[in-house]
Amino acid sequence: MDQIPNFLKEKLINQYGEDLCEKIFKGFIKKKTTLRVNTLKSNKQDIEEELKKADINYEEVNWNNDALIIDSNEENIRDLDIYKNGEIYLQSLSSMLPPLILDPKPEENILDMAAAPGGKTTQIAAITKNEAYITACEKNKIRLERLKYNLQKQGAKFVNVMQEDSRKLSDFLKFDKILLDAPCSGSGTQNVFDGKFTEELIVRSSKTQEQLLRKALKILKSNGEIIYSTCSILKQENENILNKVIKDSKYEIVSIEFPKEIEILPTKIKGTICVCPTEYFEGFFIAKIKKLAK
């Protein structure tokens, strides 16, 4: 806990209070290994059988039939054929929430604005059984190659991969649904122990987040929906961004229903959720925004 930067401790205490922050700080420390069954290539029953053969214990997740909590480290999972074959994807439970809340449907045009390394993109493909038209953007060439690799490994089809900064996408493009899992400071994750975690990173991230959300609103179809998410628990990267950008009456925040098992932190905007860091979850903010018909 002493490794958490003092400036971040102060920000979190000011936002949540000392008692709640004690819980948050403890939630940063220890994490369970979690994975998602890739239903494009396998099914939960077969994956459970393979885990049993490997003498790896697991827990099921009540609110997500495709998720498993593993009593083993990631290195052991990577040694399994089911990992090498793309039948499973190592992914945090919090990271699985945005695609589920987006609720993608077959034949919809869907944009993933910051797609690499591809966990959420491949999850969208799996949810829609490869029947949605997905555009996945990544501006960094190295990360783009990782995205392509994971898409192929996971069997995700009908994905148009673009090496592009999503802020520069043409306003003539239009999408039914957009996932904006925005680049962030990672203040809800173990990144807080990284020596690179700075106040400047938070400021830089919030500027990028605002620009991305403004672009997303422009290229969203009427009656379309955006999921805005970050792995930050700071209002500077979450509620403050929404309050800056969503001032027009043609947009509304859609209330998110979430499982009771998920512990949440208080938010200032009704309908949004901020997942509390715990042994099972990373800190994660999620908002659903709808563009009303003209």
Q: What is the pLDDT of residues 243-253, one digit of tens each?
A: 999 988 899 99
What ranges do the domains of the chain cover?
6-29+93-291, 33-90
Res. 293 pLDDT band, cuts 50 70 90? confident
The model's pTM is: 0.96
CA 97/CA 82 separation, integer angstroms: 23
- Whether residue 287 has pLDDT greater than 60: yes
What is the per-residue pLDDT for 248?
A: 81
Strands 220-230 and 175-181: parallel
Helix axis angle, 141-154 to 119-127, nearest 10°: 30
Half-sphere exposure of 31 (CA within 13 A, CB side): 21
Mean pLDDT confidence for 236-240? 98
Q: 144 — phi, psi (to 5°)?
A: -65, -40
The CATH homologous superfamily for domain 33-90 is Sun protein; domain 3 (3.30.70.1170)
What is the per-residue pLDDT for 247?
A: 84
* CA of residue 7 relative to chain centroid, distance: 25
Over residues 184-219, the pLDDT tens digits come to: 999 999 999 988 899 999 999 999 999 999 999 999
Residue 145: is it exposed, middle or buried by C-beta count within 10 angstroms (0-12/13-18/19+)?
middle
Over residues 156-191, the pLDDT tens digits come to: 999 999 999 999 999 999 999 999 999 999 999 999
CA 189/CA 195 separation, integer angstroms: 14
- Whether residue 67 has pLDDT greater than 90: yes
Res. 2 pLDDT band, cuts 50 70 90? low
Q: Which residues are identified as catalytic?
A: 231
CA 85/CA 64 separation, integer angstroms: 22
- Whether residue 86 has pLDDT greater than 70: yes
CA 115/CA 122 separation, integer angstroms: 9
CA 276/CA 144 separation, integer angstroms: 30
**CATH 3.40.50.150: does it fit domain 6-29+93-291?**
yes
Are the beta carbons of 268 and 235 closer than 8 angstroms? yes
CA 99/CA 227 separation, integer angstroms: 8
